[in-house]
Structure 1
Amino acid sequence: MTDHNQAIRDDIAFMRSLAEAGRQAPLKGGSILMAAGLIYAACAFATWFAASYPVSPLFMPTLWFGGTGLFFVALFALRRRMGAKTETNRAAGLIWAGAGWALFVIVLSLMLMGYRANGWWIMAAICPIVLATYGAAWTVAGILTQAGWMRGVGFGAFAMALVCAWYGLEVRTLFLIYGVSLLGLVALPGYLAMRQAQRAAA
């Protein structure tokens, strides 16, 4: 029992130290989120546009895997410019990295399911899943950094995940909403976080 109580106290102390550090230093990595939002929003808008025209079966995989490749290039370049991190930023970075890898595996899983079922409409689930995952990551990042606006972005992402789910079988409408959501709930907040970090460093 004593060990259990000590473990709880240690966890509380760790969370308190993260919160205190979060008040002192803004979240880094906003440029990475901005890049992700812009790249994948562009893919979503291209999907929205292409949905009205006959396209090659290879168009969608090429578009989205190409966008992912471009994002990894941007990720490599931007991470090298981020500099030293606080404990809060390390914790937030782990959250975002975990969310990113989870989404990567989920997308591959849905592709396999769509292929086996010969029903590519299954891929429509990507949109609400991605937004819900971003919502969770923004919410936790807001708690770590004591930034209420980040928690607000997280709740907005949760709400738009439900909207995307509602329009899941209307491809053009779905990807239009998804693209706008990525701009407003990933790219724009990423830009704001980046500017906040730049002002703090000045």
Structure 2
Amino acid sequence: MIDKTEDPAADIAWMRRLAEEGAEAPMQGASILMSAGLIFGAASLFHWAQITGLAPSSGPIQGLGWLVATVLFLLVLAVLIARLKRAGGVRTARNRATDTVWSALGWGIFALFTAMMALGWRVGGEGVEVAFGLIPSVIMVFYGIGWAVSAAMYKSRPLWGLAVGSFAAAPLLAALTGSANQYLAYAAALFLLMALPGFLLMRGARG
């Protein structure tokens, strides 16, 4: 039989770590959220301009904006992740939780686009027109989940507001399917519910 020995110093250190985990700490990765909102918001504006005839939309140019935005975001993402790793600092449990959920949502969006491409290849372009029209709504649902988890982890009412706003934007965008205004509204949603909050969170972390 092994006797269990008490170690008051270790117990105090453990409780101190728990206190640090619960202490106020800024949300990490806000620069990634801001970049995603800006880049894909601009791509949505460009797509709207194509539909309305304000930008070229024939031949290989059709859909080019989304491809360019994706490549640009991946490059920016690599730079930002490297910068965050160099910055170091204390990573609390909620930091890790929010990082994980936003990363998972990013992969989920990538999987969604891949699935749409596979569907288009299988049934043809016309068969997926409605499905592609729902992509902005599905992405806003994803963002709503991300904000909801972040709000719960950080106990933040403003972040809950972003979650509600993202969920509310989903049916509104779906109602605009088939209209050029859908992509104008989608751009506004990305700027207001991703880029602006990301910027404000960055500024708060520096303050």
Q: Deviation string for 1:19-78 (max 9, x for gaps)?
A: 983651010111110000000000000000100236234324422121111001111111
- Contact preservation (8 Å) 2:20, 2:92: no
Q: Which residue matches 1:65?
A: 67
For structure 2, the 5+ residue unaligned runs are 1-16
1:157 aligns with 2:163: no
- Equivalent residue for 2:58, pick from 52, 56, 61: 56
Aligned residue type for 2:50: A
What does residue range 8-87 of structure 1 map to in structure 2 within 5 Å? 21=21, 23-53=23-53, 55-82=57-84, 83-84=87-88, 85-87=91-93
- For the residue of structure 1 that corresponds to 2:26, the secondary structure is coil
Calculate the TM-score normalised by the size of structure 1: 0.83
State the identity as a percent: 33
- RMSD (Å), alpha carbons: 2.0
Structure 2 residue aligned with 1:109 = 115
Moved segments of 4+, more than 6 Å: 17-20
Whichever of the two has the greater Rg, that structure is 2
Match of 2:141 in 1: 132
| Alpha-carbon distance between aligned partners in 2 of 1:162 and 1:78, rounded to the nearest angstrom | 32
2:183 aligns to what?
175
Whole-Å separation in 2 of the counterparts to 1:27 and 1:153? 14
Give distance in 2, aligned partners of 1:60 and 1:131: 23
Q: 1:137 to 1:18 in 2, by over 3 A?
A: farther
Alignment gaps of 5+ in structure 1:
1-16
**Segment of structure 1 superposing worse, 115-124 or 159-168:** 115-124
What TM-score results when the alignment is normalised by the length of structure 2?
0.81
